[in-house]
Every structure is written in structure tokens, then in C-alpha cells.
Structure 1
């Protein structure tokens, strides 16, 4: 782990993607993140993909480098223990409902400077998932070529919300350091989604134009960018974002004269204007299709790389994980003993920090693995009291040798 957040402890009570991602990023940078779950695991504990033994590879990777405390949260004593852990620690990440036993005002009764970061669905507290929020902001009606909507498989709003939640936690801690004040940060998926649409100009665009953006398949809106097929059947994506890339692409494909003819016919110059290349794609795409289908992919890739042209062949995820540059030779990955028992490369922190040696990734905990340690350290419970809580089923632990 990076020691950047060394000394920071966070209680996390959450499930699924966004809230666990916030805890994961904090843990990867050195924070002690204590995840508290129901004994036996929360609702995401067996989420697919799973092994034959029904161990979730999803859960295992979203909870690396964390500690695990297992409590019976259906019973008052278990809930009270979680409340006490939050107060004793002072930092809390959750996606539990606003009201209830983990409401911020209730928790802050015993810890006025408590910071809670609460991931939500909608701002009014009603539930939502990435896949339904995405529909609500309109992206599936822009994806594909139509007429039916196309959902993407990447939970982008969950991941953005998780990263924003980690950032918000650190911002709230900085404010508390300056003022002594705690508080609750509420972060709805819906606001992250529509706010991102606004940041990318989407809200202004539809209000200005009075219309939805056209559906373009694999073409990139406002740029020269699209997928093309080479002579040997490889589909590759090409995107141009600078005048130099445009000039080098034309040279690599020997299309200078043909492009000049279109410019003369239409009274335009494509050299420095992304929008014109997009507007006149009806004339440009056929030229590029013909030139690219006449060359093999390896030949084109060499020419494109030499010219600094952005391109990438389409491949499956199974192909991607066999790429040494992405996985085997990538220093974010390392070997670790996984709780599932399946050996595979595990990801650590994505960022590099000068003068700090990159540490290998750490395993995810087993459910309840750190219950006794945390209750002793954080709440100063005696071994006898912890044993009683285990005996009556309030606290769960990992069996010895598991």
C-alpha cells in the first residue's frame, strides 16, 4: 500500500459497486478500511462472476486491502456495535438508507465531528442502480445505431460515484481539520450522472439545439473517428484529435489528392477543423474505407504508430488479459493469495507516486476475519466479552484454518 493515507481509518458498511469502490481506493492508498457486513456476507457477497465453489471474484476484487467485521445487523446489539465502531473511528462510508440506525444525525449524537459519506440512488432517497440511472439521463438512446436503446455493460456511474465519494471524504476531512466540524456528504448516483452529462456539454447542447444528438454507431461525435475493417478482417478504431494526426493519417493512407479534391469541391479545409471532418463524413468515410480495406492490419498499425495516430484493434476481454502490456508486464498487477483459492493477477493502486515504491496488491478479507481484532482495538472490548458476543451470534468470525 502507499502510505499517503496512513493513519486514516474508515468504517465502510456497503454493498455492490459505488460505495465499496470508495473504500477500495482509500485502502489502496494506505487507509485502514474496515468493512462491516452481516454475518455470512451482505447482498453482494456471492455476486457473479463466481467460482465453482461460489466464491465471488467480483467481491474479492472490490474489497482488497480491507479488514472485515461480521455482525448480526438484524439484532439491536449488532447494530449498536456498528454504531459504536463508526463513532470510535470518526469516518464512515455507506450506501445504507438516509433514515434508520445508520442515519448521520443518530450517529453524530455521540461524535459531533463525525464525517459520513453516503452514496445514494436518487437525491430524495429512493433507490436506483447504475443501469437505471443511465437510462434516465439518456445515454442508451445515443448508443448504437437505433432504433432500440442499447445499454452499456460498464457501470460507469457506480465507478465515478465511488471515486467521487473517496475524494469527497478527503475534502470533508480537510474541512474538519480546519474548522473542527464534521458533517454528512450525500452523493446520489443520479446527480453524478446528470452532472457529468452537464460537464460534457450535454445539457447545454440539447437546450441550445432543441434536439437530441444523432445516433452514430461507432462514429465519434464531432471528430473524425470510426471503426474500419482491414484487408485481413481486423476491425480497428481510428480517432483523430489533432491537426498533426490528421495530416499523418492522410499521408499513411496516401489520400492527399483525394482529400484535396473533396475540399475543393465543397469549399472547406479539413486541416484544423474537427467539426468539418465530422460534418463531411459522408464523403470522407468511403475514401478511408477503401484505403484501409486494401491494407493488412499489421502494416497499418506500423504506419499509424510511426505517425502518432490513435488507433486500436477490437478484441475480446479474453484477448486483452493475454496482452503482456496490459496485465503480465503491468506493474499495477501482482501475485497474492486470494481468498477464493484461485490464482490470478490482482490489481493494486493505479497511480504512481514519486519516491514511493509500488507495493503489491493485498488480498480481500474473509467474512469476519478481523472481528475480534477490531472490536478489541476500536471498542476496547475484553476477550471475554468478545467471546460472549460470538457465542450468542452477534459477532461472526472466520473459522480457524478457513
Structure 2
């Protein structure tokens, strides 16, 4: 196997919780050295989120694999000086504090760019580094709402619900990781100059909103919640089966639609010229949903999926955690990996995406204990043992 594609890249992670650390996780999975700075004592709050094992979140085992942990109180001048020294030797710095926080610590872009002109700085915040809302606090759920997603995730007439995971943060992290790679490429081909990547949570969500804005601009149409359907694209919906399960059926391709109608015994609809294209089907979506729903209601979920698989119509069940863990396809694709908690207990964690044929991502080290790498990283940065003892006494590390 060739060396990891990002081997030799050094990332300094100053963020916490989800968005910034998620971007760093991706880079670490493909070989980057990730040095994570955490506040002494408590560490990253994610260590205490969701379900805990021996006092630490099992989520931590995913979000922080391949990282080194350094305890450093960035509110103190001595720690800020150490962070500047670490930034001098870094290729990438990732942070997701409120805009202005790093500047108050002497760690803003102008300061660090002067020290290390090649540094690439990823800054993730609720509303971005500029604009009238820049100083507002913003979590992923607020970005999901402002970006347009929350309005659509509901049954018509009912309260909009959240997706169920911190999708706004993760989308921001994905866009941030992409921005880092683009900036590194620019640095490579344009003389080594670093730059800032400014990612706003609401913009990462808004970027996923497809035709939402153009439809309003062209037609004055405000897209509304539609439950399990996808307005303007038909037929595609969740259909209840005889055993109470739901089959997700996507019959919206022209050829697929015909095969679906033949499968459910509605050859008349398959041959209807008015349904040959998506525009005609979208206008009669309720009629098509009723026909498919009447068919699925007389069969179990397994029977429905077997029939659709034979007819080569995209369909599937709604997976929960147990379904994922027991599905052979996830394992065949290495999407379920084995890890171990600090006490030796085996645990299954998500695999790595995307999958590169020559330089695939790897899990080279488990998520670190708080401060596990403080001494090694600071020693490498030139901090003496005596200085570390003094810093520890002051609560800086």
C-alpha cells in the first residue's frame, strides 16, 4: 500500500464539538497528523455528549480517532505563545470559535499568516467571518433552520422537526475539508501562499437546497414541507406495507416508472403517454401514490422489496442502527470497523468515506485520552521539561 495521501501534512485543531473536529477527522483518516488542542480538565465537551462509557462518550471514539490530544488553556498568554509556535510548523489550522475569539488571543489570521505565510486556516462559524450576523452565536440546528432545511423537514401542517443528527455541523465540516484541500492545491501550484477558508453553518446547509431559491425567484413559489414525498419528482415516496413496514420506492426515471407500473399490475399507467415524462407524472403524483400504496398495502415489506428488486426498481427499507449493524453490504464495503475502548471492550464504529483505490483512509490510532500527547507535542515544539513543570503548575497545560 502507498503512503497515505495526506502523509506529512500537519493539522492544528483548535475547534471543539462537531464542525471543526469533523473536518479534522476527515483529514486525519487520510494520513494528516492532527494535533487537537483541548482545555485542561474537561477537554472537548463532546467527550460528555450522548451515551458515555466509563465517563467518555463513545461518539468520541469516532470523532477523534487518528488525533493527538494536547491540554492547553488558550485563555492564558503562555498557552497562546505555545499555540503560535505550533502554528508556525503547521500546514493547516482549524477553528470553529465565534468570530473574533482567536483575534482576542493573538491567534487571528493576520498574526498567524505573518508567522507562517503558507498556513491554511479553516474557520467555521454560525454565520461566517463577515456580515451583519457574524457576532451571533450559532449552532448547527440554527444553521439548518436559516439554510432552509428545517422548514422542509415536516409533514404538511405539522411542526418542522430536526433531521435527528447534527447535519448542519457535519455539512460545514465536509465543506471545510474540501476547502482545505482546494487551498492546499492552490498553495502547491502558486508559490506556497496560504489562505483563509470561511465556512458558515447556514451556508453549508443552503448549498444543499437544490432548486429552492431559483423556484422562488422565477415563479414566486415558496417550497413547503411534503413529508416523505419529493415535490415535483414522481413517483417517489414511502409506502405502507401490510405488516406495518414502509418501503421507500423511487420510480421517477422514465424507464423505471414503466417497470414499476407493470410490477404493480397497472399496465394502463405504464402505457399512458401523459405519464411518459416527469412533468406529467408530477402533475398526477397523488394518483400514482394511491396506485402504488394500494399495491404495497396487500404485501409484506419483504415481499414488496423482493418484487421491486426483480423488476429493477430502486427501493429499500428504512434502516435503524440494528439494521445497519446486521446488513452484510455495510460489512462487505468496510463501512463497519472494529475498535476498542480504553478498557479493552470491542466496539463497532463507522468506516471511512470516500474510498480511494490507491491511498485509502485508515484508522492508525484510537481516540486519545485527554492530554495524552501534551508532553510529546510540546517537547517537539522546544518546550523544556522545567518549563512544562512550571506551565503545569500555572494550569496552562
TM-score, normalised with respect to structure 2: 0.89
The aligned residue for residue 185 of structure 1 is 197
Q: Is the 8 A contact 1:121 1:128 kept in 2?
A: yes
Note if contact 2:30-2:362 (Cα within 8 Å) is conserved in structure 1: no
The answer to whether the 8 A contact 1:13-1:36 is kept is: yes
- Decide whether the 8 Å contact of 2:39 with 2:73 is kept in 1: yes
Cα deviation for residue 121 of structure 1 reads: 0.9
Equivalent residues in 2 for 1:337-352, closer than 5 Å: 337-339=340-342, 342-352=345-355
Q: Aligned-residue CA RMSD in angstroms?
A: 2.3
- Given the alignment, which residue of 142, 155, 160 partners 2:152? 142
Alignment partner, residue 371 of structure 1: 374
Shift of the 76–338 alpha-carbon distance from structure 1 to 2, 3 Å rule, reads same
- Are 2:29 and 2:361, in contact at CA under 8 Å, matched by a contact in 1? no
User: Residue 172 and residue 242 in structure 1: after superposition, are their counterparts in 2 closer, same or farther (change >3 A)?
Assistant: same
**Structure 1 gap segments, 5+ residues each:** 396-402
Residues in 1 aligned to 2:98 and 2:148: alpha-carbon distance in whole angstroms: 26
1:111 paired with 2:128, answer no
Question: Partner of 2:89 in structure 1?
Answer: 88
For 2:177 and 2:72, locate their aligned partners in 1 and report how far apart those are by CA, in whole Å. 25
Is this contact kept in 2: 1:339–1:364, CA < 8 A?
no
* Partners of 1:231 and 1:297 within 8 A in 2: yes
Matches within 5 A, 1:279-358: 279-326=283-330, 328-339=331-342, 342-356=345-359
CA distances 1:4-28 after superposition (whole Å, capped 9, x unpaired): 0001001001012111111000000
What is the count of residue pairs matched by the alignment? 384
Structure 1 residue 138, shift from structure 2 partner = 3.0
Offset of 1:96 from its aligned partner?
2.3
**In the alignment, is the contact (CA less than 8 A) between 1:118 and 1:184 conserved in 2?**
yes
Q: TM-score, normalised by structure 1?
A: 0.88
Among 228, 243, 246, the alignment partner of 1:235 is 246
Matched residues in 2 for 1:258 and 1:111: separation?
66
Q: Deviation at 1:210?
A: 1.0
Unaligned 5+ residue runs, structure 2? none
- Secondary structure at 1:68 match in 2: strand
Q: In 2, Cα distance between the equivalents of 1:299 and 1:333?
A: 28
TM-superposed CA distance for 1:329, in Å, is 4.4
| Conserved? CA contact 2:13–2:94, under 8 Å | yes
> Which 4+ stretches in 1 moved above 6 angstroms?
none
Q: Offset at 1:244?
A: 2.3
TM-aligned CA deviation for residue 252 of structure 1: 1.5
